[in-house]
Amino acid sequence: MTPSSAAHEVQSIVDGLHAHYSSLNEGEVATYIPELAKVDPAKFGVSVVTTEGRVFEAGDCEQPFTIQSVSKPFTFGMALEELGHPKVSSYVGVEPSGDAFNSIELQSGTNKPFNPMVNSGAIAITALLHAHYGEAALQSEAEAALDVYFKQCAIQVTSRDLAMMAASLSNMGRNPITGRIAYDPSAVKDMLSIMFTCGMYDYSGQWAYRVGVPAKSGVGGGILAVVNQQLGIGTYSPRLDRFGNSRRGVEVCVQLAARLGLHVFDCLNSGSSYLSAIL
């Protein structure tokens, strides 16, 4: 298979999935955040970026939306690099919680948040960064740390942005277009590990079973998925399932994993010929 024919096939798969799932109208937009209730539920974008910088996309790939919880792995990575694993792990655990993302349950015995992908853990991570870069600790500047967290979640991105961010993690922290290093590989390893076990709220087990790659979703409708040393996926569709994940985005990722052989434990790797020809 030539690179051009493989690229054509990958683009055809992306186009076909976008067309197929555009008619899937299950799920509801988030309404507990007023601004999220105002979005157009029909918007739908799918983007794939390889570690070589090839872009395949369909739909509303330049539609801005708020990043929300997709920001959590990236602040976790920042904290690991700035503060070190021992300090970060003394405040936040790495175990799946089995509870909803907005649960305030803490680990018994340690009183630490279960992991940095639930809100309590993400706020703790942001507070550590605020304390590091700011002038006072969280104990005296709690409202300021929360303000930083809310601003973090309100950053606007597109599905193309998410795919590029995912491709950078896939590329061991190096942006595939600019070549700039965003994260050290050791931080990327920890980021991807926690995304794999905890990144899709309390659907994370099913995601690992059906898709089998590290990912993070947000109630703004975005999903970011990372295929190690191959590519990054970014999707946007604001209709959410009961777990808070994009309904269309989940199904697109399931099908991309199946058709391109992306699942980390896919022994047959049935679709890898397309990727091996273009990477």
- What is the residue-level pLDDT of the chain in tens, covering all 279 positions? 788 898 999 999 999 999 999 999 999 999 998 989 999 999 999 999 999 999 999 999 999 999 999 999 999 999 999 999 999 999 999 988 766 666 666 666 777 888 999 888 999 999 999 888 875 547 556 778 788 899 999 999 999 999 999 999 999 999 999 999 999 999 999 999 999 999 999 899 999 999 999 999 999 999 999 999 999 999 999 999 999 999 999 999 999 999 999 999 987 665 566 777 787
Distance of CA 170 to the CA centre of its chain: 12
Tell me how far apart the alpha carbons of residues 127 and 116 are, in angstroms, rounded to a whole number: 12
So what's the pLDDT on residue 139? 53
Q: Which of 21, 46, 47, 69 is catalytic?
A: 69
What pLDDT does residue 131 have? 86
Q: Which residue has the tokens 């922290």?
A: 173
Does 133 qualify as catalytic in the annotation?
Answer: no
The active-site residue, picked from 21, 149, 183, 274, is 149
State residue 133's pLDDT score: 81
Judge contact between 214 and 155, C-beta under 8 A: no
At 227-238, the pLDDT tens digits run 999 999 999 999
Distance between CA 171 and CA 181 in Å, rounded?
10
Residue-range domains of the chain with CATH: 3-70+155-278 (3.40.710.10), 71-151 (no CATH)
- CA proximity to 150, closest of 121, 115, 126, 133: 126
Query: Among the options 10, 157, 219, 227, which is catalytic?
Result: 219
What token pair was written down for 79?
């904290």
- For the chain, how big is the Rg over CA atoms in Å? 18
CB neighbourhood size of 53 (10 A): 14
pLDDT score at 99: 63
- 201 tagged catalytic: yes
> How many angstroms separate the CA atoms of 272 and 262, rounded?
8
Please tell me the total number of residues recorded for the chain in this structure: 279
Q: How far apart are CA 230 and CA 218, in angstroms?
A: 23
User: Given 201, 216, 254, 274, which residue is catalytic?
Assistant: 201
Catalytic site residue 69? yes
Output the pLDDT for position 145. Answer: 79
The reported pLDDT for the residue numbered 271 is 56
Q: Which of 21, 29, 72, 170 is catalytic?
A: 72
